[in-house]
């Protein structure tokens, strides 16, 4: 019958695209806007894994319940407490930002999840998650995670200028968007700088942290850089449009992929959604935040965005609005084509 779904024999977790985020402190709203952007544009079902401080759990549940059913039926979610399986929990908590180290433990905690996309709370999806999820199929036999470079240009990159520990490649990688094959991570023996033989992911984390803790600045991201420095064959590097940050435009445009294809995932690090340093980033955040779920995407999201961008042309990022708009435009067109086809198809039957 029209409108009925065939139930496949696969458990829902296999059909799901798994998305994990770690939220502490004042990151509730940011996390909800990130999840909203994921749901707005994605096609396949989503499974959210939200790691949050206990005080935030009722808030998350309340807010997610308020979303209209046409959207809540597109995802399921679990909220987990913050836990660290090895070493000293207080020490892990103090590493960089509160709770950020939690992401290092996802392979250990989410034992039944095969693959996962981890994102920071300050990320916005400008196209379906389905598109980054497909990258898992591009992994070769040794790759088990994917991240984007920290910078495109070594001479202005942070790691290449300041790092006091080993890091991946010429500029290091940024861990704000990280695609992981958790099964492979759990089954791999990693080369390391501590013992001649390999260590499992879980065995390696705490000793590695102990060895380098006086040299790391960016917490868990630095640890990931150290791990992939010793195991470069395990990392798939995806282009900068999948983790587009203010650094990619605030000194002039230096992300070729975004110029060609548009920004796929926006990463508003350095708090740019909440101050006036990068109005282009803030405009995107506010428009997605204020978008009424059931409204017309062009009318209530795309057009307000275009007019807000006009106020940002005095900034270097604001001079390239097409870079920010290209994927959104493409995605919205697809959403409408699908709806029209479904609508026509439904009418055609009667």
**At 147, which CATH number?**
3.90.550.10
Report the domain count for the chain.
2
Q: Are residues 32 and 143 in the same domain?
A: yes
Q: Are residues 155 and 263 in the same domain?
A: no
Query: Residues 313-339: what's their mean pLDDT?
Result: 90
Q: Give the Cβ contact number of residue 231 at 10 Å.
A: 20
Model's pTM, two decimal places? 0.91
Q: Are residues 25 and 118 in the same domain?
A: yes
Cα 331 from Cα 111, distance rounded (Å)? 33
Q: Are residues 72 and 176 in the same domain?
A: yes
What is the predicted pLDDT for the residue at 2?
39
Structural domain boundaries, residue 303: 241-345
Domain assignment present for residue 12? The answer is no
Domain assignment present for residue 5? The answer is no
Residue 99 region by backbone torsions, left for phi larger than 0, else alpha for psi between -120 and 50, else beta: left
Instruction: Among 210, 238, 266, identify where a domain stops.
Output: 238
- The more confident residue out of 213 and 75 is 75
Residue 4 reports pLDDT greater than 50: no
DSSP state of 68: -
pLDDT band for position 14 (50/70/90)? low
Cα 149 from Cα 189, distance rounded (Å)? 24
**Residue ranges with strand state E in the chain:** 17-23, 46-52, 75-80, 115-119, 123-125, 145-149, 173-181, 235-237, 265-267
Q: Are residues 224 and 303 in the same domain?
A: no
Query: Residues 135-140: what's their mean pLDDT?
Result: 97
Domain assignment present for residue 10? The answer is no
Domain assignment present for residue 1? The answer is no
Q: Which residue has the tokens 């940002």?
A: 312
pLDDT in tens, 84-122: 877 888 787 777 566 878 999 999 999 999 999 999 999
Residue 129, SS3?
helix
Cα 331 from Cα 60, distance rounded (Å)? 27
Q: Are residues 43 and 160 in the same domain?
A: yes
Residue 311 reports pLDDT greater than 90: yes
Residue 219 region by backbone torsions, left for phi larger than 0, else alpha for psi between -120 and 50, else beta: left
């Amino acid at each position: 019958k029209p409108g009925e779904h065939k139930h496949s024999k696969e458990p829902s977790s296999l059909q799901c695209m798994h998305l994990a985020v770690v939220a502490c402190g004042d990151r509730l709203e940011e996390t909800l806007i990130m999840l909203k952007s994921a749901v707005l544009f994605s096609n396949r079902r989503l499974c959210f894994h939200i790691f949050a401080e206990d005080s935030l759990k009722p808030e998350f549940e309340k807010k997610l319940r308020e979303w209209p059913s046409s959207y809540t039926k597109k995802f399921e979610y679990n909220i987990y407490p913050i836990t660290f399986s090895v070493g000293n929990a207080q020490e892990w908590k103090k590493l960089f930002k509160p709770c950020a180290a939690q992401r290092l433990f996802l392979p250990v905690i989410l034992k039944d999840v095969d693959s996962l996309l981890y994102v920071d709370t300050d990320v916005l999806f400008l196209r379906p998650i389905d598109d980054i999820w497909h990258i898992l199929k591009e992994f070769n036999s040794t790759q088990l995670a994917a991240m984007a470079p920290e910078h495109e240009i070594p001479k202005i990159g942070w790691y290449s200028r300041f790092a006091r520990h080993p890091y991946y490649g010429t500029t290091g990688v940024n861990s704000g968007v990280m695609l992981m094959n958790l099964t492979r991570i759990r089954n791999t023996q990693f080369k390391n700088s501590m013992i001649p033989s390999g260590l499992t992911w879980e065995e390696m984390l705490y000793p590695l942290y102990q060895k380098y803790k006086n040299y790391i600045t960016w917490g868990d991201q630095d640890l990931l850089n150290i791990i992939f420095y010793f195991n470069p064959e395990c990392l798939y590097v995806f282009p900068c449009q999948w983790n587009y940050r203010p650094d990619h435009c605030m000194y002039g445009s230096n992300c070729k992929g975004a110029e060609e294809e548009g920004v796929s995932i926006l990463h508003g690090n350095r708090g740019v959604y909440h101050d006036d340093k990068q109005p282009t980033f803030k405009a995107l955040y506010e428009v997605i935040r204020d978008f009424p779920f059931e409204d017309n995407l062009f009318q209530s999201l795309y057009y307000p965005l275009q007019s807000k961008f006009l106020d940002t042309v005095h900034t270097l990022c604001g001079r390239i609005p097409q870079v920010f708009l290209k994927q959104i435009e493409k995605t919205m067109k697809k959403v409408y084509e699908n709806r029209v086809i479904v609508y026509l198809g439904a009418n055609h039957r009667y």
